[in-house]
């Protein structure tokens, strides 16, 4: 895997000058992850995915495979499978701070969304179900890591969604419809002989590299640079929940 890995550290004030979409970001330092104290003994996974969109031309083929791959592989190594919502059962409200995120996306340790997306939103359906970055505040209840298996949602707009989460993993380019979640899980877990577990960040990059063509760029954002050293629970070290201070670090990986 002789690829280009780039690390950048930002302060949100700088990003505001570059990306006006971040003007609503609150830089107040707050505590995080107060909703669940059983991460080590009973880690949880949840996934949401959409193949069937309102406009047939927007339909995808592998989002269920991507989501189910992560969901089942972590379940097979002892993780609690908390929710698996697909197509019309995937809802924007499940991602939103003002609605049901503490029952869904922010109620698990690791989550994956697989479907359409863009720089500032997740298109949970083509018409009505959209999650804008300023409606998501992930990590104040439980979430440590969320994968956004979609186009462009690794851009800095989604850095405003940090509210205790350690990593937001995505792409800064478009991405091909693929089985990323399954490959991500393969690298996250030490499955036995001649295998090791990789960090959450590197697992995302290596998993994406399997199916994505040259020219695609994976991007991972972390609340702190130390978040890039996280493994999933049971596979290595996990840092203490970071304070939310209005800054973030990002890493990119050229396919």
Could you give the 3-state DSSP secondary structure of residue 34?
Answer: coil
**Beta strand spans in 107-196 (E):** 110-114, 116-118, 121-123, 130-132, 145-149, 167-171
Q: What would the pLDDT profile of 102-159 be if each residue is shown by its tens digit?
A: 999 999 999 999 999 999 999 998 778 999 999 999 999 999 999 999 999 988 899 9
User: Can you tell me the distance from the alpha carbon of 95 to that of 109, in angstroms, rounded to the nearest whole number?
Assistant: 14
Nearest to 134 by CA among 31, 27, 19, 25: 25
CA 200 – CA 216 distance, rounded (Å): 19
Res 13 pLDDT > 60: no
How far is 246 from 160, CA to CA, in rounded Å? 8
101 pLDDT higher than 80 = yes
- Domain housing 47: 5-254
pTM of the model: 0.88
Distance of CA 237 to the CA centre of its chain: 19
- The CATH code of the domain that includes 75 is 3.40.50
- How many domains is the chain built from? 1
Strands 121-123, 116-118: pairing kind: antiparallel
Would you state the pLDDT for residue 193?
75
């Amino acid at each position: 895997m002789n690829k280009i890995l780039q690390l950048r550290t930002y302060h949100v004030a700088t990003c505001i000058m570059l990306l006006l979409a971040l003007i609503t970001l609150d830089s107040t330092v707050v505590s995080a992850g107060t909703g669940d104290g059983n991460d080590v003994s009973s880690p949880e996974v949840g996934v949401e995915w959409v193949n069937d969109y309102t406009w047939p031309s927007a339909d995808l083929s592998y989002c269920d495979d991507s989501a189910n791959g992560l969901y089942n592989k972590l379940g097979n190594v002892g993780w609690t499978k908390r929710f698996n919502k697909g197509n019309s059962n995937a809802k924007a409200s499940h991602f939103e701070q003002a609605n049901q995120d503490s029952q869904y996306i922010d109620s698990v340790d690791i989550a994956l969304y697989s479907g359409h997306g863009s720089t500032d939103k997740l298109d949970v359906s083509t018409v009505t179900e959209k999650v804008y970055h300023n409606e998501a505040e992930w990590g104040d209840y439980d979430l440590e890591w969320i994968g956004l298996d979609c186009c462009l949602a690794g851009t800095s707009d989604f850095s405003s969604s940090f509210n205790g989460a350690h990593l937001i993993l995505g792409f800064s380019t478009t991405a091909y419809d693929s089985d990323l979640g399954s490959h991500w899980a393969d690298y996250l877990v030490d499955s036995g002989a001649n295998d090791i577990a990789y960090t959450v960040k590197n697992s995302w990059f290596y998993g994406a590299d399997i199916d994505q063509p040259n020219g695609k760029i994976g991007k991972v954002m972390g609340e702190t640079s130390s978040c890039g050293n996280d493994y999933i629970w049971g596979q290595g070290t996990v840092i203490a929940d970071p304070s939310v201070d209005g800054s973030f670090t990002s890493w990119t990986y050229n396919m």
